[in-house]
A and B are shown apart, each in its own frame.
Chain A
Amino acid sequence: DTAVSQTPKYLVTQMGNDKSIKCEQNLGHDTMYWYKQDSKKFLKIMFSYNNKELIINETVPNRFSPKSPDKAHLNLHINSLELGDSAVYFCATGQDRSYEQYFGPGTRLTVT
């Protein structure tokens, strides 16, 4: 059983489209995160949710909207995709206050 899974693994789409990435965890962790990794491999946090409540929103454009239907899922919806959104998006989970995080395999988003 994969601890943190993401779908899809690859996503190729055109500018202006709307797309979603899904994340599911079976670790029972309280907190889930979205990270963006750019072409230079720099990894930056976008959002974190704790028990379905938004905790961190790191000045991400409001075209990005995370949604947490339950503790085990955190989805990322992106409206009006732009070329600069091309990146690898990682979901991660952790227990509150431990900072130890477990990452999903990533979703490579390519906007053309």
Chain B
Amino acid sequence: AQSVTQPDIHITVSEGASLELRCNYSYGATPYLFWYVQSPGQGLQLLLKYFSGDTLVQGIKGFEAEFKRSQSSFNLRKPSVHWSDAAEYFCAVGGAQKLVFGQGTRLTINP
């Protein structure tokens, strides 16, 4: 069965600073990997996805993620965060007909 670990429960960065959110997965086959964002009181919005091909994927809102098979990682990055990026971020792996989510990382932005 697949699993996802997001090692950082809470991260605080200053507005304009760069961001990296970590995600490690465990899955026996080629993974389908996703990052979702959840703003307070809202549903989950898909940021980006990796199925195959180029290991650096671009998403919405200026986010990107890099798949590294050797490290079983799919870290999310953004070069310069905006106050509106404050939210909960979830990494997920697809397999066996379902998505399994990590515990989430709460992102706080300092002005």
B101 partner residues in chain A, CB cutoff 8 A: 42-44
B49 partner residues in chain A, CB cutoff 8 A: 100
Tell me which residues from 49 to 88 in chain A have a Cβ below 8 Å from any Cβ of chain B.
55-56, 58
Interface size on B, residues (CB 8 A): 22
List the interface of chain B (C-beta within 8 A of A).
Answer: 32, 34, 36, 38, 42-46, 49, 88, 90, 94-95, 97-101, 103-104, 106
The distance in angstroms between the C-alpha atoms of A58 and B1, with both chains bound, is 13
Closest to A43 in B: B101
The answer on a CB contact under 8 Å between A56 and B98 is: yes
* Residue with the greatest number of chain A CB neighbours at <10 A, chosen from B42, B44, B95, B106: B44
Tell me which residues from 24 to 40 in chain A have a Cβ below 8 Å from any Cβ of chain B.
33, 40
List the interface of chain A (C-beta within 8 A of B).
Answer: 4, 33, 40-45, 48, 55-56, 58, 90, 92, 98-106
B42 partner residues in chain A, CB cutoff 8 A: 105-106
Contact of A45 among B43, B44, B98 (CB under 8 A): B98
Secondary structure at the A interface, as helix, strand, loop or mixed, is: strand
The answer on a CB contact under 8 Å between A99 and B99 is: yes
Return A48 CB to nearest CB of chain B, in Å.
6
A58 partner residues in chain B, CB cutoff 8 A: 98
Task: With A45-B98, A48-B98, A55-B97 as known contacts, state yes or no: A103 contacts B44, CB within 8 Å.
Answer: yes
